[in-house]
């Protein structure tokens, strides 16, 4: 998944890859939302993306859950123009929301990618402008036919149509071999 961000040109002989790490678990539950929007990142880019997505998604004919990523004293829910909006969700609520969503629109940060791999989700990425690692990861996943992306200023509802032509992150299921991993610690 990480390409040159996680794979050195001349690997060490004792280098072991452990696969994606996530606090979440895949649950087979009914899909409740057609689209889940996970907002995150530094201001003002987070707000710019929220405004852009909201403007586009009010024209979407389906169920949308938007999580702003604004942690406050309490979770607040509102429904605006048919879009369910939360300021934030706890880990367990977020895990449930992702599991019950068909498509996730989010930034292409590495932690988010690993979570979506673990939950085997379809996604559409919008990298944070100026975050070159997110841009690289989004480009790489699109080139590999897994997840489409676009730049923040280029997003439109029509761009989501291409997501069905991509494999999604379910094809990356990775089984961790603990014997191989912990062989690093065996005495010689």
Position 80 in a domain: yes
Query: Can you give the pLDDT at residue 18?
Result: 58
Q: Is 159 exposed, middle or buried (0-12, 13-18, 19+ CB in 10 A)?
A: middle
The fraction of the chain above a pLDDT of 90, given in percent, is 71
To which residue do tokens 């934030």 refer? 88
Measure the CA–CA gap between 125 and 137, rounded to whole angstroms: 9
Among the residues of 7-58, which ranges form H helices? 45-57
Query: pLDDT of 54-81, one tens digit each?
Result: 999 999 999 999 999 999 999 999 998 8
Position 19 in a domain: no
The 3-state DSSP class for residue 37 equals strand
How many distinct structural domains can be found in the chain?
1
Rounded to the nearest angstrom, the gap between the alpha carbon of residue 91 and the centroid of all alpha carbons in its chain is: 14
Measure the CA–CA gap between 4 and 9, rounded to whole angstroms: 8
The 3-state DSSP class for residue 179 equals helix
Measure the CA–CA gap between 104 and 168, rounded to whole angstroms: 10
Query: pLDDT of 94-148, one tens digit each?
Result: 999 999 999 999 999 989 999 999 999 999 999 999 999 999 999 999 999 999 9
In the sheet where 64-67 sits, what is the strand order?
77-80, 83-86, 64-67, 33-38, 101-106, 122-125
* CATH label of the domain that carries residue 92: 3.40.50.2000
Confidence of residue 169 (pLDDT cuts 50, 70, 90): confident
Residue range 161-178: mean pLDDT, rounded:
74
The fraction of the chain above a pLDDT of 70, given in percent, is 80
Position 143 in a domain: yes
Domain encompassing residue 67: 29-185
Position 14 in a domain: no
Question: What are the structure tokens assigned to 182, written together?
Answer: 């912990």
To which residue do tokens 């673990």 refer? 118
Measure the CA–CA gap between 156 and 56, rounded to whole angstroms: 6
Question: pTM of the prediction?
Answer: 0.85
Query: Can you give the pLDDT at residue 5?
Result: 46
Measure the CA–CA gap between 50 and 37, rounded to whole angstroms: 9
Position 70 in a domain: yes
Position 20 in a domain: no
Measure the CA–CA gap between 174 and 176, rounded to whole angstroms: 6
Position 8 in a domain: no
């Amino acid at each position: 998944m990480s390409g040159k961000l996680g794979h050195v040109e001349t690997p060490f002989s004792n280098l072991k890859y452990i696969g994606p790490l996530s606090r979440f678990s895949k649950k087979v539950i009914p899909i409740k939302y057609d689209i889940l929007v996970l907002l995150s990142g530094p201001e003002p880019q987070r707000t710019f993306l929220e405004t852009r997505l909201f403007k586009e998604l009010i024209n979407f004919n389906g169920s949308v859950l938007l999580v702003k990523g604004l942690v406050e004293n309490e979770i607040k829910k509102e429904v605006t123009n048919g879009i369910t909006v939360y300021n934030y969700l706890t880990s367990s609520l977020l895990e449930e929301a992702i599991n019950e969503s068909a498509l996730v629109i989010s930034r292409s940060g590495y932690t988010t990618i690993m979570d979506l791999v673990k939950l085997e989700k379809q996604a559409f990425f919008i990298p944070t402008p100026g975050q070159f690692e997110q841009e690289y990861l989004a480009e790489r996943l699109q080139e590999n036919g897994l997840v489409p992306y676009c730049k923040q200023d280029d997003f439109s509802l029509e761009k989501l149509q291409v997501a069905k032509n991509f494999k999604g992150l379910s094809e990356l299921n990775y089984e961790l071999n603990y014997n191989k991993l912990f062989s690093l610690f065996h005495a010689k």
